[in-house]
Amino acid sequence: MSSYFILKAIHITSAAVLFGTGLGIAFFKWITDRSGNVTAIRVVSEKVVLADWLFTLPAIIVQVATGVALMNTLGYSLSQAWLAWSVVLFCLAGLCWVPVVWLQIRMRDVARESEGAGASIGEGYWHYARLWFWLGVPAFTAVILVFWLMVAKPE
């Protein structure tokens, strides 16, 4: 098997990990938030932060490294519109992800404080949760569009 196919397999696998982890995190966090159960929200918030560090961040790094390597191996350049748009959309998703991580850490901390005090989660948590949700919309849309661009490679 050639190094190109190994590189491509790693790139595709890391894309699947990136999208799958993001979708899984979003689903479990969103559905748990809807429960209103402070203990469940605290536990899931802690796991969401951990999953981002263990899976999402490494997948982002692998995506960039293998993407650049594939671009060089195949002789592609950013003058190709589909590739340039892929990079722009990937960066847009990343620009959404950075504040999302900060929001997840804050929500985790608020959930811990609320559970420790035996209180319900206050409006601050729900403000963070709304921002988190709406930052996810352009991020997921961007990633889906990157998948399409990588497969279709439109001219």
Cα of first residue to Cα of last residue in the chain, in angstroms, is 30
Instruction: Give the confidence band of 155 by pLDDT, cuts at 50, 70, 90.
Output: confident
Phi, psi values for residue 83, rounded to 5°? -75, -40
The distance of Cα 30 from the centroid of its chain, to the nearest Å, equals 14
Cα–Cα distance, 106 to 109 (Å, whole number): 5
Two tokens, residue 99: 């504040």
Q: How many domains does the chain divide into?
A: 1
Domain that holds residue 11: 3-152
This prediction's pTM? 0.91
Instruction: Indicate the Cα dihedral angle 84, 25, 116, 124, nearest 10°.
Output: 50
pLDDT tens-digit profile of 76-128? 999 999 999 999 999 999 999 999 999 999 999 999 999 887 778 989 999 99
